[in-house]
Amino acid sequence: MTASAALGDGEAAGLRRRVAAFLHRHARVRLSLLLSAPLAWLGLAYLGSLAALFVTAFWSTDTFTGDLVKVFTWANFQDLVTGEVYRTVALRSLWVAAAVTVIDLVIAFPMAFAMAKLASPRSQRWLVILVLTPLWASYLVKAYAWRVLLSSGGILGWGYGLTATIATLSYLWLPYMILPIYAGLERLPNALLDASGDLGARGWRTFRTVVWPLTFPAVVAGSIFTFSLSLGDYITVKIVGGKSQLIGNVVYDNIGAANNLPFAAAVATVPVLIMLVYLAAVRRTGALDNL
C-alpha cells in the first residue's frame, strides 16, 4: 500500500468519525434523517394516494366522451346512498367481512394459545412456520384450489356463493389473525395465569378475566387485518362467489367495464369509512390504551 492511499484511508475515517460525532451531538438531525424516508413514503405515497382517491370521488365523467370532468359534485355519493343495489352490496360485504373475522377468531385463538402457552419451544417454532407457509403460495392458486374443493364434483362440493366466499376468505386470512394473537399471548406472562388459578379461578374464568382483556388489543389487530382484507377483496368472490357481488366488484367493474373512475373512488371510500368507524369504536373500549 502506498503512503498516499494510506493517507486517504485516514482522511475518510476521520470524516466518518466527524460525521458520526456530529450526529451524536445533534439528536434532532439524527432523528429527522432516520425518519425522512418513512415519512416521505407515508406522506406522499400512502396518504397522497388516499387523498387523490377522495378528491376523485367528487368528480364525474362525461357521459358522452368518457373523459374526467374535474368539477366538484355530490352526484356519486347521491347515487351511492339512494341506489338500492349499492346498499345491499355494502351490507353484504359488511356481513361477509364480519363472518370471516368471527370464524378466523374462533379458529385462531385456541390455535395461538396452544402455540404460545402449551407447545414446547421447539414445536413452537415449527408451528409458526406451518402457519406462515400458506402465505408463500400465490393467492390465486389458493383461491382456485378452493374452487376445485367447492365445485359440485369436489371434496366439499358446496357449490359457489356467499358461503363459499366466506369459507375461502376465512382460509386465506387465517394467518393474519393467528400471528397477532400469538404475539399477544407470548407477551402475556405465564405467572398471570398461575396467579389466577392460585386465587381460585378455573380455566374459563381465567380466560374471561385475565387472558381475554389482556390479549384484546392483539385480537383487534388481527380483526383489522381480516376485516379490511375481506372488505376489499374482489378476486375470491369472482372465483368462488357465483353470482353474488361485493364492494370490491363494484369498484372493479366501475374502473373497468363502466369506465367511471370517480364513482369507483366514491364506492372505495365506503370500506375506508367503515374501517374508521370500526377503529373509533374499538378506541372507545380503551383496548388500545395498553398497546
Partner 1 sequence: MPDQAVSLRGLRKSFGSVEAVAGVDLDVADGEFFAMLGPSGSGKTTVLRMIAGFESPTAGTVELAGRDVTRLAPFERDVNTVFQDYALFPHMSVLENVEYGLRVKKVARSPRRERALEALRSVRLEGFDKRRPGQLSGGQRQRVALARALVNRPRVLLLDEPLGALDLKLREEMQVELKAIQREVGITFLFVTHDQEEALTMSDRVAVFNQGRIEQIGTPAEIYERPASAFVAGFVGTSNLISGEAARAVLGKEGTFSVRPEKLRVVAGDGETPGPDEHSASGTVSEVVYAGPATRFVVDLDAGVRLIALQQNLQVSSMDVMGLRGTRVSLVWHRRHEFAIADVSLAVPREAAHP
Q: SS3 of 69, please?
A: strand
Task: Tell me which residues in 214-243 interact with partner 1 (CB under 8 A).
Answer: 214
Q: Nearest approach, Cβ of 219 to partner 1 (angstroms)?
A: 14
- Supply the minimum distance, in Å, between the C-beta of residue 193 and partner 1: 9
* Residue from 129, 141, 191, 257 binding partner 1 (CB under 8 A): 191
- Residue 205 binds partner 1, judged by CB under 8 A: yes
Only segment of 26-34, 108-116, 198-206, 261-269 that touches partner 1 (CB under 8 A): 198-206
DSSP reduced 3-state for 60: strand
Least distance (Å) from partner 1 to the CB of residue 288?
A: 13
Other beta carbons within 10 angstroms of residue 215's beta carbon come to 27
Residues numbered 71-110 forming contacts with partner 1, rule: CB under 8 A: none
- As a whole number of angstroms, the distance between CA 89 and CA 96 comes to 10
* Nearest residue (CB) to partner 1, 199 versus 273: 199
Task: Give the C-alpha separation, 25 to 143, whole Å.
Answer: 54
**CA-to-CA distance for 82 and 70, rounded, in angstroms?**
23
Map residue 61 onto helix, strand or coil. strand
> Which amino acid, residue 123?
S
Instruction: Reduce the DSSP state of residue 68 to 3 states and report it.
Output: strand
Contact between 200 and partner 1 (CB under 8 A)?
yes
Q: Between residues 62 and 198, which has the closer beta carbon with respect to partner 1?
A: 198
Residue 290 lies near partner 1 (rule: CB under 8 A): yes
If we measure between CA atoms, which residue out of 262, 227, 264 comes closest to residue 248?
264
Enumerate residues 131-190 that contact partner 1 by CB under 8 A: 189
Q: Is 63 in the site for partner 1 (CB under 8 A)?
A: no
Considering only residues 194, 277, 283, 285, which one is a binding residue for partner 1 as defined by CB under 8 A?
A: 194
Minimum CB distance to partner 1 smaller for 24 or for 202: 202
Choices 16-24, 162-170, 192-200, 252-260 (CB under 8 A): range interacting with partner 1: 192-200
Tell me phi and psi for residue 45, to 5 degrees: -70, -40
Angle at 94 between CA 138 and CA 234, to 5 degrees: 30
CA angle 62, 63, 65 (to 5 degrees): 65
Smallest separation (angstroms) from partner 1 to the CB of 201: 5
Closer to partner 1 by CB, 148 or 192: give it: 192
Other C-beta atoms within 10 Å of 100: how many?
28
Which residues in this chain contact partner 1 in the complex, by CB under 8 A?
189, 191-192, 194-202, 205, 209-210, 213-214, 290
